[in-house]
């Protein structure tokens, strides 16, 4: 059979407990202050994240609008004539001018 736990020696231990509590009190106060600082930092970080989220939403909207503008420009550029079409138009204009000059002159 196991022997029972030893009993502390008889006497008043309240002074020892109070001494331990007095030594722990500044540590606990310091920890409490640090926790308050951490909570304040967390609140500031949450505010910053909220502002960043709003900024990112605005940037996303601007980027979407720029994408639409670029798509519109691509559509317009794709409809521009190429160099061969322009050359053909110029030759057609010169040919029509040549025909008009020779047919109107009569001589």
CB 89 within 8 A of CB 81: yes
Q: What is the pLDDT along the chain (107 residues), one digit of tens a residue?
A: 455 556 555 555 678 888 888 888 888 888 888 898 999 999 999 999 999 999 999 999 999 999 999 999 999 999 999 999 999 999 999 999 999 999 887 55
CA terminus-to-terminus distance, the chain? 143
Tokens 């926790």 sit at which residue?
Answer: 35
- pTM > 0.85: no
């Amino acid at each position: 059979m196991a022997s029972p736990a030893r009993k502390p020696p008889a006497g008043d231990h309240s002074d020892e407990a109070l001494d331990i509590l007095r030594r722990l009190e500044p540590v606990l106060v310091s920890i409490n202050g640090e926790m308050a600082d951490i909570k304040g930092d967390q609140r500031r970080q949450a505010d910053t994240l909220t502002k960043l989220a709003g900024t990112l939403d605005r940037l996303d909207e601007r980027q979407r609008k720029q994408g639409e503008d670029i798509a519109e420009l691509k559509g317009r550029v794709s409809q521009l004539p190429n160099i061969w079409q322009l050359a053909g138009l110029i030759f057609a204009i010169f040919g029509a001018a040549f025909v008009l000059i020779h047919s109107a002159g009569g001589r």
